[in-house]
Amino acid sequence: MKYCFYIILIIFSLSSCVSTKKLNNKKNISTIVNKARTYIGTPYKWGGTSSKGMDCSGLLVRSFQSVGINIPRTTSEQIYLGKKVNLKKSKEGDLVFFAFGKKKRKITHVGLISDVKSNDNIDFIHASSSKGVIETQLIREYYLRRIRVIRRIL
């Protein structure tokens, strides 16, 4: 009988954590996006993770840390996070991965979807090697041709 009480207590505790997590996801996503926006204008620096300079994956590391989520440091590791989603079903907080190099399949860049107004009006934040951290329109031929996958962590 004593063990049944503990089992019920554990199940209740876990179920309440899950529902709290779901309720906090929208708030967490908003916090992550807002943190990423604070870096707009930061110069690009390969391997950088501070307001003095940062790269694309460093931007995401710092943004997710704002809600206590530690994600891998590199784009090649971040590509395995969460679940794959279609561009038309993408939401704020999703990660969008690109191949910009000579190898069309090699993931070389990542950004954070920051606003979805409609299927053809989506903004994302990323650390551009030429412009630093910027928020820009995703639905442009330049970016669309290079998207390889979109993944949802939260």
At 109, which amino acid appears? H
Render each residue's pLDDT in the chain as its tens digit; 154 residues: 554 444 443 433 443 333 334 446 889 999 999 999 999 999 999 999 999 999 999 999 999 999 999 999 999 999 999 999 999 999 999 999 999 877 778 999 999 999 999 999 999 999 999 999 999 999 999 999 999 999 999 8
Q: Would residue 56 show up in a list of annotated catalytic residues for this protein? A: yes
Using alpha carbons, select from 71, 126, 120 the residue that is nearest to residue 96: 126
Catalytic residue, candidates 92, 126, 127, 150: 126
Distance between CA 92 and CA 37 in Å, rounded? 13
Distance between CA 12 and CA 81 in Å, rounded? 28
Catalytic residue, candidates 54, 56, 71, 150: 56
Per-residue model confidence (pLDDT) at position 77: 96
Pinpoint the alpha helices (H) of the chain: 2-38, 56-65, 75-78, 141-144
Environment class of 25 (CB within 10 Å of its CB; exposed 0-12, middle 13-18, buried 19+): middle
Q: Would residue 10 show up in a list of annotated catalytic residues for this protein? A: no
Distance between CA 93 and CA 112 in Å, rounded? 6
Per-residue model confidence (pLDDT) at position 143: 96
Distance between CA 133 and CA 45 in Å, rounded? 10
| Domain architecture of the chain: domains with CATH | 2-152 (3.90.1720.10)
Catalytic residue, candidates 44, 60, 97, 109: 109
Q: Would residue 109 show up in a list of annotated catalytic residues for this protein? A: yes
Per-residue model confidence (pLDDT) at position 1: 52
